[in-house]
Structure 1
Amino acid sequence: MNERQIIFSPSSLLTIVTAVASIVLLWQLRGLLVLLMVAIVMASSIAPIVDWAERRRIPRWLSALVVYLLAILGLVGVFFLIGPTVLEQLQRLFRQLPIVSEKLVSLLDERLSPEDAAQLTDLVRQTLNFQALTRWTFQTSQELLLRSYSITRGIVGAVLSLILALFLSGYMVADSRTLVRRLVRLLPDPWDRRLYGQMGNVGNRMGTYIRGRLLVSIVLAIATSLGLRGLGLAEFSLGLGAIAGVTNLIPFLGPILGAIPALVVAIAQGGWTVLWVLLFYVVLQNLETYVLDPLLVGTAVGIHPLYQLLAVLGGVQVLGILGALIVPPWFAGVSVLVDNLYLKPKLKAERLAKSELSQAKTADAVGIDRP
């Protein structure tokens, strides 16, 4: 019986050892890699403004600094303007969960048979139990935040990481051309030139996505607050609008999560309020899908919605809340490279091969017909 011998050459062994060492090194540096991913997304979002300022002979570093300072000042101003009211309404909403639960129970007792009402009332009491809901919220938030902030040590580390990401993104924007040019030099020709030529498209798609997502969330937060105020939920309108704006940063899942608190409050009020609130969120969802997203986000993602949803779910699974925010724009950027460096050349080569085959068949047919 012949025995097969597997022989590794020194070069093969060196390649295997290098690959294993690289994987171990990347795993140890995963926190830094996530930080770089965040910084690149932030840099892509402000790059068009910096480019516009550069054309007017304003230094890139100065325009990046001004943009970030204005963004920080705007966030601080909004927080001091409506932040206390939003927090007060959210606290009031949580405090009223037992009252909401009892109102739902009484409503079920009035509308359903005793057997069905007994089962549903137990479910409502368990679902809207303040202590259980608070405990579940903290446990779930802790798990997601631990995944999101695995690169840090607590809240202070997260804040420091955010500041570091701001500095990194500012440096990337200020000297982006030099950084990209030196990075692609590591690749062999002609891939260095091809990749360098696509960096602008990648950054543009990532930046367009994140800017459009932010604008859509702001518009929906304002529309939700105004709409719920008009529907009789003025007591919680700002808080529910803030929830809708934050959750809409997450594609697909965000609108559903943002509608649940408003529907719970509307059900507790009874009457036709719940129907009007439900219709309002349905109209709002369609407005986002068919008007706001095409207008503000456009074709920034450029991939099938199912793949976008998988990107969101994968990001949540690996990086928590942070992954749901940064993985979709990265997925959009990578799709540019796949389209322009693989799919389009592949389709072009296939069309060229078919054309050459057709010409060859035509030439053969002409040659056969001739005497």
Structure 2
Amino acid sequence: MLYFIYLIRGIFLSLLLAVVLAYLLHPLVRMLESRGSSRTASILIVYAVVFILAAGLLLYGMPHIIAQLNTIRDVIPEYAVQVQEFTDSLQLEYARAGIPGAIRQIIDERITWLEQILVQMAERVVQNILGLAGYLFNIILAPIFAYYLLKDIEIFTDRTVMFIPARWRGDVLELGRQVSRVIDSFVRGYLLVSVITGLLTGVVLAFLKVEFALMLGIFAGLTNLIPYFGPFIGAVPAVALAMLVSKWLVLKVIIAFILIQQAEASIISPKILGDRVGLHPLVVILAVLAGGQLFGLAGLILAVPVAAILRVFIYFAAARLLPEFN
């Protein structure tokens, strides 16, 4: 059995994507079904709506994204010259400041190290984007698997429950409900918050006439999935581009990101997420740092839900093993 699982490991990505897709679409299917539609009709209606929205975004968004990518490719040499002039002026300034030679050498080494890191990150992003083409078949299979999961989800659930010993069944189902609430809070909540944040960022940057506002908005929305550190990471490219235009634009971009972050932290996230994940801010920061150190970008994004699920297991076990814990 283990060898067979090893042989079919290539479809695990499709199954994982199917589970995520089914998890996200199940509330919509259930809502339509409660209004009188059959299960199959509800799934097909949800699929049709999702397909129309995705096709609309692709048809409208992809030409703009491709155009901006082509523009970025064309202006990179100009920006490289401006960045070189900017760094030369900085080096001239701190050379005049009378900084000792040893310290200047350390600063130069750090600048070179940072440039190498940025180049490696850019190369990695390009490789990952190109690598997605190899998973196209797995991505196409995911909606097919998700359809059958949505259609017969009760059958799969009931048959899975049958394999749980009767004396553990109540605890396992209760633990599953708690984990499901945490995942629901994170996945649906954070995705919605990130989409809103990305849209706000793109609109505000376009209003400020910052180049590549669409790409910067998408980047800000994606990095917003990383708690605490994401907004700062998302602001870096916009601030860097603004530095090449004027100091006044840099100030406006920084103020815009601060206002968006305050709106997200004070209004958007509390309304959508609340405190349902149940983690202390210090635990969140430590989890994000550990996830980034161990697993890179994926660790940064998945650190919080994994930590929240571990918290559910620990509290559940403590409540069962230590009666006074209740």
TM-score bracket, normalised by the shorter chain, equals 0.7 to 0.9
Per mean C-alpha deviation after superposition, the further-off stretch among 102-111 and 37-46 is: 102-111
Q: 1:262, CA displacement in angstroms?
A: 0.6
User: What is the aligned counterpart of 2:39 among 60, 63, 70?
Assistant: 60
Verify: 1:267 aligned to 2:243, yes or no: yes
* SS of match in other structure, 2:244: helix
Q: Structure 1 pair 282/26, CA: closer, same or farther in 2 (3 Å)?
A: farther
Write out per-residue CA displacement over residues 141-195 of structure 1, whole angstroms, 9 at most, x where no aligned residue: 54xx49xx9xxxx544412222333333332232222212221322222212332
| Equivalence for 2:324 | 350
Relative CO higher for 1 or 2, CA cutoff 8 Å, sep ≥ 6?
1
Q: Is the 8 A contact 2:319 2:325 kept in 1?
A: no
Q: Is the 8 A contact 2:318 2:325 kept in 1?
A: no
Larger radius of gyration: 1
Per mean C-alpha deviation after superposition, the further-off stretch among 102-111 and 216-225 is: 102-111
Write out per-residue CA displacement over residues 281-304 of structure 1, whole angstroms, 9 at most, x where no aligned residue: 223223222322222223342233
TM-score by length of 2: 0.77
| Equivalence for 2:66 | 87
| Equivalence for 2:182 | 205
Q: How many residues align?
A: 318
Equivalent-residue separation in structure 1 for 2:304 and 2:13 (angstroms):
14
Q: 1:102, CA displacement in angstroms?
A: 3.6
Matches within 5 A, 1:45-56: 45-56=24-35
Equivalent-residue separation in structure 1 for 2:305 and 2:208 (angstroms):
35
Q: Structure 2: which amino acid aligns with 1:44?
A: Y
Verify: 1:183 aligned to 2:160, yes or no: yes
User: What is the aligned counterpart of 2:264 among 288, 294, 298?
Assistant: 288
Percent of residue pairs bearing the same amino acid type: 28
Q: Structure 2: which amino acid aligns with 1:187?
A: I
Verify: 1:224 aligned to 2:209, yes or no: no
Equivalent-residue separation in structure 2 for 1:327 and 1:30 (angstroms):
24
Q: Is the 8 A contact 1:316 1:322 kept in 2?
A: yes
User: What is the aligned counterpart of 2:87 among 101, 105, 114?
Assistant: 105
RMSD: 3.9
TM-score by length of 1: 0.69
| Equivalence for 2:215 | 239
Q: Is the 8 A contact 1:198 1:337 kept in 2?
A: yes
Equivalent-residue separation in structure 2 for 1:324 and 1:173 (angstroms):
30
Equivalent-residue separation in structure 2 for 1:68 and 1:334 (angstroms):
33
| Equivalence for 2:123 | 138
* SS of match in other structure, 1:299: coil
Q: Structure 1 pair 79/208, CA: closer, same or farther in 2 (3 Å)?
A: same
| Equivalence for 1:15 | none
Equivalent-residue separation in structure 2 for 1:255 and 1:67 (angstroms):
32
Q: 1:264, CA displacement in angstroms?
A: 0.7
Q: 1:265, CA displacement in angstroms?
A: 0.8
Q: Structure 1: which amino acid aligns with 2:122?
A: T
Equivalent-residue separation in structure 1 for 2:109 and 2:244 (angstroms):
16
Long gaps (5+) in structure 1:
1-20, 353-371
